[in-house]
Amino acid sequence: MGAIVMEKPNVRWSDVAGLEGAKEALKEAVILPIKFPHLFTGKRTPWRGILLFGPPGTGKSYLAKAVATEANNSTFFSVSSSDLMSKWLGESEKLVKSLFELARQHKPSIIFIDEVDSLCGSRNENESEAARRIKTEFLVQKQGVGNNNDGILVLGATNIPWVLDAAIRRRSEVVSRVREADLHPPAGGAGAGGRCFGLHLGNTPHSLNEGNQRELARKTDG
């Protein structure tokens, strides 16, 4: 389990430039149930699976850390699908199970799985038995069969959501699209691009005003 990163991130909503639509969706899905638990009972139980999708480099991982910080300072588990895949028979299922057991021990917790499509791609006739077993174990653990998964949220990130297994998509109640347009607005707007420069400059001495930062953002590609 050495490839799994466990941390208490310190990333606030204000540290994430742009992505306003995704942030609002996550606030409603994650933060409101924590602040007003009495409103989320019965059929209005909090969501336990959220899928973030968008092109590479648009801030999906950073956004996930902000969710963990704002969600009652939850323990954040970060892992890539490749970290859970093993060439040894049965080892991948054990890794998935261990990940969720660790998350239950450190609730409230958020499990962030990058490139979740590699772990939970669509089923097909050419799929190996090992791949099917991994998906089955992931669904069993995510649903909390035989365990209490209250206080555990699974965040998945992908660039290609359409290749995900249908069962995974059905159990990911919110899909927040993280778009390049959210970070790179039309020229002339204040936009997130300028704020990105300001955030990354931090306390570094400089002579750039807001207009300079917006101009740099306009000329920057990526």
- 37 lies in the same domain as 134: yes
Please state the domain count of the chain: 2
Residues 136-189 have pLDDT tens digits of: 888 888 887 777 788 888 888 888 888 888 777 776 654 555 544 444 434 334
Question: CA 44, CA 5: separation in Å to the nearest integer?
Answer: 31
Quote the CA–CA distance of 139 and 48 in Å, as a whole number.
Answer: 12
75-80 and 5-7 beta bridge pairing: antiparallel
**Residue 66: both structure tokens together:** 């902000």
Model confidence at 222: pLDDT above 60: no
96 lies in the same domain as 13: yes
Do 207 and 161 have their domain in common? Answer: no
Q: How many CB atoms lie within 10 A of CB 169?
A: 17
Residues 128 and 212 reside in one and the same domain: no
162 shares a domain with 81: yes
Q: Are residues 172 and 205 in the same domain?
A: no
- Per-residue pLDDT reduced to its tens digit, 24-50: 888 888 888 878 888 887 777 777 888
Same domain, 72 and 129: yes
Q: Are residues 195 and 123 in the same domain?
A: no
Same domain? For 55 and 153 the reply is: yes
pLDDT digits (tens, 9 = 90+) for 179-221: 444 444 343 344 555 555 555 555 666 666 767 766 766 666 5
Report the C-alpha gap between 133 and 85 in whole angstroms: 12
- 142: domain range? 5-183
Q: Are residues 158 and 58 in the same domain?
A: yes
pLDDT at site 133: 86
pLDDT digits (tens, 9 = 90+) for 10-19: 888 888 877 8
Residues 141, 33 share a domain: yes
Give the type of residue at 142. K
Neighbours of 174 (CB within 10 A): 15
pLDDT of residue 105: 92
Q: Are residues 198 and 109 in the same domain?
A: no
